[in-house]
Amino acid sequence: MLNLQDLQYLAEKHKVSKIDIDFLKEIGLVKQKDLLKILGTGEIKVKLEVFAHAFSNSAKEAIEKQSGTANIIGK
């Protein structure tokens, strides 16, 4: 699980506009078998394209409010 504040941190630190499982594996935050859910704690100030297995309603709304996309991927 990651929160909005985690996405914001990753976007700033790695200068990315897309966050997906492959990126998170590359930087060592998730393993091959992990399911990824995005939760709404914190805030996001950048436009991001996010790919995860699930999103809380508040996380999805916050991402879309910044003109980003919350994309659900298969297991």
- Proportion of the chain above pLDDT 90, given as a percent: 89
Number of other CB atoms surrounding residue 2 within 10 Å: 21
Q: Identify whether the C-beta of residue 23 lies closer than 8 Å to the C-beta of residue 16.
A: yes
Using the predicted structure, report yes or no on whether residue 57 has a pLDDT greater than 70. yes
Calculate mean pLDDT across residues 14-33: 92
Q: What is the largest CA-CA distance in the chain?
A: 30
Question: Tens of pLDDT along 46-55?
Answer: 999 999 999 9
Alpha-carbon span 73 to 8, nearest angstrom: 20
31-54 core/surface letters (b: 16 or more CB in 10 A; e: else): eeeeebebbbeeebeeebebbbeb
Calculate mean pLDDT across residues 45-73: 97
Question: Tens of pLDDT along 8-20?
Answer: 999 999 999 999 9
pLDDT at residue number 31? 84
